[in-house]
Amino acid sequence: MRDAEPSAIYLKDYQVPSHLIDKTHLHFILHPTKTRVSSDLTIRKNPDADTKSNELILHGQDIDLQSVSIDGRQLDDRDYQLEAECLRIANVPEQFVLSVVGLIAPADNTSLEGLYKSQSMYCTQCEAEGFRKITYFLDRPDVLSEFTTTVVADKTEFPVLLSNGNPIKSGSLDDNMHFVTWHDPFPKPAYLFALVGGDLECIQDSFTTTSGRAIDLKIYVEEKDLDKCDHAMASLKSSMRWDEDVYGREYDLDIFMIVAVDDFNMGAMENKGLNIFNTSCVLAKAETTTDAGFQRVEAVVAHEYFHNWSGNRVTCRDWFQLSLKEGFTVFRDAEFSADMGSRTVKRVEDAKLLRAMQFAEDAGPLAHPVQPASFIEISNFYTLTVYEKGAEVVRMIHTLLGAEAFRQGSDLYFERNDGKAATIEDFVSSMEEAGGRDLSKFMSWYHQAGTPKLAVTADYNSSSREYALTFNQTCPTTPECDSEDKKPYLIPVAMGLLGSNGPLSLVPETDVDFSLSKNDTHCVLELTQPQHRVVFKDINAPPVPSLMRGFSAPVRLQFDYSPDDLITLMTQDDDGFTRWDACQQLCVSVIHEVEASLQQGKEPSVDSRLSDAARALITNQNLDPAMVALMLTLPSEGYLAEIATTANIDTIHSAREIVRNHLAASLKTEFAERFDSLPYFPEYEANAVQIAVRSLKNCCLGYLVATADPVWLERAMTQYRTATNMTDQSAALSVLALSPDSKAVDYSVSALSEFYQQWQSEALVVNQWFSVQAMQPGEKAVDRIRSLMQHEAFNINNPNKVRALIGAFANNNPVCFHNSDGSGYRLLAEVVKKLNATNPQIAARMLGPLTKWRKYDSKRRELMQAELNSIKQTVGLSKDVFEVISKSLA
């Protein structure tokens, strides 16, 4: 017999909770398999609920229930009904204290939701629905309660006992036990609850808020990692200052704590006053962490800190509003990172991620709106759409309102909803009020899935000296809605026109709302209809339009640029994003030409305009080196697959390699000169200047190794061995290990073996070692992955290891993953089946690459579908995996 198929939950069915829990008292006695959790909940009937029923239904899962009582009166099992996922109590009074005692087994909890053990410490992850694995509760974000938590454990093994809020009491107990009581004065939903017990050390600092309150800051880690916390602490202090300066938001408790945990499903979690972090998002040190790692720590620390207001003080009414806290907070952390480093580089990196990954999600079977209308398992909706597209949507509101009105809107939103559970509509209505404008046409961005396509055509009339642009917007069919039933989007188009002597003054004549910048060479058009025509006057010759400056809307822009137009944009536009994008489009068109030649069996040739443009970039000393590196990086195979109707993985790979090798060979001298002329910084700092230089240097090294010149293979090996920071060391390791040339093999083998010898005691560095090998080319890739899965350092219960090895293989080694013998698909399916039983969240996430089967040729489609079907037959299939598979096969 098979379980009934899990069913979907709908936004339209939302009802207020039947009861409210004003106060929550929790008492934990920590034990690996018998942790005793006692709760006293002060409950009353919700005056806003229209139900007549006196039944209370609490969520709960995997709890060994010991006792239930109401106002001190013990209930027997005729008074309540215990089901697999809930506890029903009939005939509860209007107001009462419910006391429940249960036993849970943290050491057996491999799902990493609820209370679990990571190595020797106890920790929790409750978002979205993990709290119900700790105790029976109304585990939904619109039930806010004031928590008091006492944790009891062995004094020697678990000297540090933490929970949310401020510590109010502690002391010794018999049998070498001790306790600490924490009180959080701010009512919060259960998903923000946290508890930690462990033998941890901490670094301490303090921060004085704008109103003069001193806040204790503590980062808890294992003793061996104490030397890797300084960057996170500095990032935390910068974030606290920034949120005061830019948003007027001050921290509210007396203490702010971060705890680093090895086994963690997500990046980090914003539990009130006690953030729990995946070690990969908090530990950083020059010798062990790359520049990208340092930037990630800064961004994630900021993101979780910013949630204290956008997420905790104002939380979500239900999980359909997830983007209310995530989209807004990602926008906030992106702006913070832009202020800390290079604004243009940050913007390009975000746009690049969105176009390669989120657009693919939007075009696939799991496409969903930023505000989804339904889900089976909410864990599947922690997606690029909800986070990154959600942030782009908030950014567009910022563009439409301007910085000042946006800030007023944000103040109004926080003021009005403080201490409440809000909706996306509450957020937008505050913005409408502050901006004095109606945003109803804007809501399509929240309600419709899919990436809108904006096709633009131009015509120039020399006698009237008019230049006209016609904009046509459409949005493809997605699982929830047909193309023709979709409403148009309000699309802000930031643009300018380039003439032969630079930017032209704009005099638009149109029915479209627009705003002009002070120097009148830049404007933002607000498109609202399927089609618009905009005419520019007094134009003496056909210009080159610079469209979607700063990636002003997450759309697929279509304009028929010639290679020469693209070179004009690359070299003359004053918007960094447009320059980068023009360069990418030039690369794409050159790669497409090579692909076409390969498919026709012709000898491919590489358009010399690309190498000329690249030469101009490498030799230009005035451009930001980080931008040069980004522009010289060819579009990824993933992006090239994403923009293809049917992705021919092997041709894409060969064409990209041909273009890359051509650039490497024809510009070898320039790459070498630039490589040698860039400075070396003996004192490592993770600042924008140093990061930019290292990124260009290692980009040059990549091209130089691609020439397979023994001199450069040797120099890469020297850099590998002498590097004093992980950025340079791992860059050298990657270029050698990923080189397809046989001359690189010996270097690659030595470097990989030395790397493991050197770093085997650093788990996060070992993850990099797994990833590089997961991405190595060659026929034996699948066998290599299988043997690495048996390696002493691999552990399938640790999500970071799974992502580093299996995730890197399936996502970043397309040629081997899509091997036409199906071996890559089989490997992934086996891993998903294993994880389904232990950690369904990670299982569902790993499944992603298989769900994109429609992108490939018929043979691969069949192989991928077969693996999906075989997973679907697994006994005990989790809700998480069921939802992804059934949507993908639908």
When the beta carbons of 326 and 432 are compared against Zn ion, the nearer one is: 326
CB 231 within 8 A of CB 298: yes
Nearest approach, Cβ of residue 552 and Zn ion (Å): 24
Please give the DSSP secondary-structure letter assigned to residue 310. B
Nearest approach, Cβ of residue 352 and Zn ion (Å): 21
Cα-based torsion angle of the residue sequence 24, 422, 162, 247 in order, rounded to the nearest 10 degrees:
-140
Nearest approach, Cβ of residue 260 and Zn ion (Å): 17
Helical pair 763-775 and 726-737, crossing angle rounded to 10 deg: 30
When the beta carbons of 393 and 863 are compared against Zn ion, the nearer one is: 393
From CA 408, how far away is CA 773, in angstroms rounded? Answer: 50
Burial of 586 from C-beta contacts in 10 A (0-12 / 13-18 / 19+)? buried
Q: State the maximum Cα–Cα separation within the chain, in Å, rounded to a whole number.
A: 96
Helix, strand, coil shares of the chain, percent, nearest 5, are: 45, 20, 30
How far from the centroid of its chain's Cα atoms is residue 864's Cα?
A: 26
What Å distances lie between residue 228 and 118, 152, 263, 726, 765, CA to CA? 19, 29, 18, 13, 13
Nearest approach, Cβ of residue 61 and Zn ion (Å): 24
Please give the DSSP secondary-structure letter assigned to residue 621. S
User: How many residues make contact with Zn ion (CB under 5 A)?
Assistant: 1
- CB neighbours of residue 855 within 10 Å: 21
When the beta carbons of 386 and 495 are compared against Zn ion, the nearer one is: 386
When the beta carbons of 282 and 808 are compared against Zn ion, the nearer one is: 282
When the beta carbons of 338 and 468 are compared against Zn ion, the nearer one is: 338
From CA 491, how far away is CA 496, in angstroms rounded? Answer: 16
Nearest approach, Cβ of residue 384 and Zn ion (Å): 13
CB 317 within 8 A of CB 421: yes
From CA 841, how far away is CA 845, in angstroms rounded? Answer: 6
Q: Which of 296, 300, 274, 289 is nearest to 167 (CA)?
A: 274
Using CB under 5 A as the binding rule, the residues of this chain from 270 to 329 that contact Zn ion are 326
When the beta carbons of 387 and 853 are compared against Zn ion, the nearer one is: 387
When the beta carbons of 188 and 549 are compared against Zn ion, the nearer one is: 188
CB 498 within 8 A of CB 568: yes
Q: Which residue has the tokens 């068109």?
A: 589
Q: Which residue has the tokens 């131009």?
A: 458
Neighbouring C-alpha atoms within 13 Å toward the C-beta of 347 = 20
Burial of 621 from C-beta contacts in 10 A (0-12 / 13-18 / 19+)? exposed
Q: Fill in the amino acid letter for 539.
A: I
Nearest approach, Cβ of residue 387 and Zn ion (Å): 7
User: Binding mask 320-339 vs Zn ion (x if CB under 5 A, - otherwise)?
Assistant: ------x-------------
**DSSP strand E in 517-639: where?**
523-527, 531-536, 544-546, 556-558
Q: Which of 299, 283, 30, 24 is nearest to 164 (CA)?
A: 24
CB 114 within 8 A of CB 844: no
Nearest approach, Cβ of residue 330 and Zn ion (Å): 7
When the beta carbons of 335 and 565 are compared against Zn ion, the nearer one is: 335
Catalytic: 304? Answer: yes
When the beta carbons of 298 and 326 are compared against Zn ion, the nearer one is: 326
Nearest approach, Cβ of residue 420 and Zn ion (Å): 19
Nearest approach, Cβ of residue 315 and Zn ion (Å): 12
Is the bond preceding 128 in cis, omega lying within 30 degrees of 0?
Answer: yes
The catalytically annotated residue of 113, 129, 270, 304 is 304
Which parts of this chain interact with Zn ion (CB under 5 A)?
326
Residues carrying an active site annotation? 304
